[in-house]
């Protein structure tokens, strides 16, 4: 009987956890219903339903009462039932208003940006499986030799390059492991250890700004812009963001070297280069062809999402990615992005976005700057994906009703802001991984993260203002 007590305690905790989650979920739904009912006098019935869905989604995403992807599925399901009314139920009928086609709310699941992101996942997954990531990163790090300054530059550059194509979390985990070999020669307590460890999550985050497939906020921005008839191609995104990201990487290097310069001359051990296989060479060829096609979509006319199917087909057909590995892709991220697209689409179809935009003082001085500040603040405490799916649809509505707000300025800017918040160890999974090494304190993140965040805010606003003024986009 004594042996059963631990099992009984575990079951009891599980039941308690489920009960608490259910109570929280019910409270969120009741709050959403009450607030939407309170505002219903100023809205049509479909917009009232959508407001309840929006409030519930925001509260669930922020509190993470249920997983993020589960909230996205809830959004799509609620939109189908309350706005599409596929069962033609009398209780959901609204006089003078036709139900919206329920298929419209399923479209985000197969949106081109979802397929593009899937292609990026496949490329990253296969690259990791065959060891391409370790070979290239170890080779790049070895190039920078024994110098502490050059090694730090190498870590920043290598991490940022991988952050462009692989998830920031996977990039950070890989680089933390690889840099362990030459940090072994750095004495404990030397500030240089902090410089290298901090460089990894921050460089991964900045690198993640540079391509549409590297970060969910980027994908959400591109997807919602496309839904509004504004196409931002793969190459165009990189051309816009690359100068900003490179400048931020340089600021990161200066910041880390200033605060964590080694207190004495160091002789670092070069990273051992991993052997390169025939499979690795094949993956590099397919990767290069895919990226080349992404960058030249304006020449050959094949959409980026269609190009993304090329590595998916090649790698699955050749067996480089088997069924088990395919099943272990980050499918939850795809559904979170789909939920964000569905939320924006539902707000647009019901006119709720216009009502919300009209309540925001879009003509106020510095409204874009205020939205940027809000994005950084929200991303500090909640996931940057959540911040993006809540703010970007509103930003698009604001730009739609106001001639003073350039839609690319605010939408792409918000995606950059959501990816630039790195102040706390909990701000991003890469920060959490770096913090778990025991090399860093919360103060380390706060100081360096605040500098990068402030510089990103100022530079992004100034740079995007200049692009808008020059009519360069």
Task: Give CA separation, 211 vs 162, 204, 217, 223, in Å.
Answer: 11, 12, 11, 13
Does residue 4 or residue 66 have the better pLDDT? 66
**Per-residue pLDDT band at 445 (split at 50, 70, 90):** very high
Query: What is residue 138's predicted lDDT score, i.e. its pLDDT?
Result: 72
Between 2 and 394, where is the model more confident?
A: 394
Residue 3, judged by CB atoms within 10 A of its CB (0-12, 13-18, 19+), counts as: exposed
Angle in degrees, CA 416, 69, 128, rounded to 5? 70
Per-residue pLDDT band at 465 (split at 50, 70, 90): very high
pLDDT class for 15, splitting at 50, 70, 90? low
Q: What is the pLDDT of residue 236?
A: 93
Best CA proximity match to 320, nearest among 275, 277, 291, 288: 277
Write down the pLDDT at residue 5: 53
Those residues with Cβ within 8 angstroms of residue 145's Cβ, 6 or more apart along the chain or in another chain = 151, 268, 270
Alpha-helix residue ranges (DSSP H) falling in 296-330: 297-300, 304-317, 323-327
Judged against a pLDDT cut of 90, whether residue 414 lies above it is answered with yes
Q: For 214-226, what is the mean pLDDT?
A: 92
pLDDT of residue 115: 92
Question: Taking the CB of residue 439, how many other CB atoms lie within 10 A of it?
Answer: 17
Q: Six-digit token pair at 220?
A: 């959400």
Those residues with Cβ within 8 angstroms of residue 441's Cβ, 6 or more apart along the chain or in another chain: none
- Judge whether residue 124 has pLDDT over 60: yes
Do 194 and 163 contact (CB within 8 A), yes or no? Answer: no
Q: Are 80 and 106 in contact (CB under 8 A)?
A: yes
Give me the percent of the chain exceeding a pLDDT of 70.
Answer: 92
Identify the weakest region by mean pLDDT among 95-104, 234-243, 388-397, 404-413.
95-104
Check if the beta carbon of residue 171 is closer than 8 Å to that of residue 163.
yes
pLDDT at residue number 268: 66
pLDDT at 386 over 60: yes
Q: Is 241 or 404 the better-scoring residue by pLDDT?
A: 241
Which is higher by pLDDT, 54 or 94? 54
Q: How confident is the model at residue 7 (pLDDT cuts 50, 70, 90)?
A: very low
Mean pLDDT confidence for 107-127: 89
Mean pLDDT across the stretch 433-445?
Answer: 89
Q: What confidence score (pLDDT) does residue 10 get?
A: 46
For position 269, what pLDDT does the model report?
65
Least confident of 127-141, 264-278, 289-303: 264-278
Average confidence (pLDDT) over 145-151: 79
Mean pLDDT, residues 58-86 taken together: 90
Tell me the pLDDT of the chain averaged across its residues: 87
Mean per-residue pLDDT, 210-233: 91
Radius of gyration of the chain (CA): 24
Q: How far apart are CA 47 and CA 294, in angstroms?
A: 38
pTM summary value: 0.84
**161-189 pLDDT, tens digit each:** 999 988 888 888 888 877 877 777 788 88
20, pLDDT greater than 90 = no
């Amino acid at each position: 009987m004594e042996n059963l007590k631990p099992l009984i305690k575990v079951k009891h905790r599980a039941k308690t956890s489920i009960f608490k989650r259910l109570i929280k979920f019910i409270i969120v739904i009741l709050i959403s219903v009450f607030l939407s009912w309170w505002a219903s006098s100023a809205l049509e019935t479909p917009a009232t339903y959508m407001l309840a869905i929006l409030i519930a989604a925001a509260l669930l995403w922020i509190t993470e009462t249920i997983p993020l992807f589960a909230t996205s599925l809830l959004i799509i399901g609620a939109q189908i039932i309350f706005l599409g009314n596929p069962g033609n139920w009398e209780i959901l009928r609204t006089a003078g208003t036709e139900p919206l086609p329920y298929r419209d709310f399923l479209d985000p699941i197969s949106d081109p940006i979802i397929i593009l992101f899937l292609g990026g996942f496949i490329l990253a997954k296969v690259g990791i499986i065959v060891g391409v990531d370790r070979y290239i990163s170890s080779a790049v790090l070895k190039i920078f030799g024994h110098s502490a300054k050059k090694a730090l530059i190498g870590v920043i550059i290598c991490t940022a390059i991988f952050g462009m194509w692989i998830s920031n979390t996977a990039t950070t985990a890989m680089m933390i492991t690889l840099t362990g070999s030459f940090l072994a020669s750095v004495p404990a307590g030397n500030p240089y250890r902090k410089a290298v460890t901090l460089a990894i999550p921050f460089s991964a985050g900045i690198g993640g700004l540079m391509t549409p497939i590297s970060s969910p906020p980027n994908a959400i921005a591109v997807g919602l812009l496309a839904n509004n008839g504004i196409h931002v191609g793969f190459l165009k995104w990189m051309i816009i963001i690359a100068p900003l990201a490179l400048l931020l990487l340089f600021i990161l290097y200066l910041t880390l070297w200033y605060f964590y310069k080694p207190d004495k001359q160091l002789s670092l051990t070069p990273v051992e280069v991993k052997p390169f296989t025939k499979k690795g060479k094949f993956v590099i060829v397919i990767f290069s062809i895919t990226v080349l096609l992404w960058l030249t979509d304006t020449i050959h006319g094949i959409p980026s999402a269609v190009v993304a199917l090329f590595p998916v087909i090649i790698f699955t057909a050749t067996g480089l990615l088997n069924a088990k590995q395919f099943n272990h892709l980050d499918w939850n991220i795809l559904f979170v992005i789909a939920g964000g697209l569905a939320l924006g689409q539902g707000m647009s179809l019901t006119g709720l976005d216009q009502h919300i935009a009209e309540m925001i003082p879009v003509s106020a001085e510095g409204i874009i700057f205020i939205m940027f500040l809000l994005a950084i603040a929200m991303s500090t405490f909640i996931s940057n994906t959540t911040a993006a799916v809540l703010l970007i649809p509103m930003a698009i509505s604001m730009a739609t009703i106001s001639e003073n707000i350039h839609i690319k300025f605010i939408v792409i800017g918000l995606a950059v802001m959501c990816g630039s918040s790195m102040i706390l160890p909990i701000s991003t999974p890469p920060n959490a991984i770096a913090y778990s090494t025991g090399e860093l304190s919360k103060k380390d993140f706060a100081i360096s993260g605040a500098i990068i965040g402030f510089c990103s805010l100022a530079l992004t606003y100034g740079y995007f203002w200049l692009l808008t003024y020059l009519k360069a986009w």
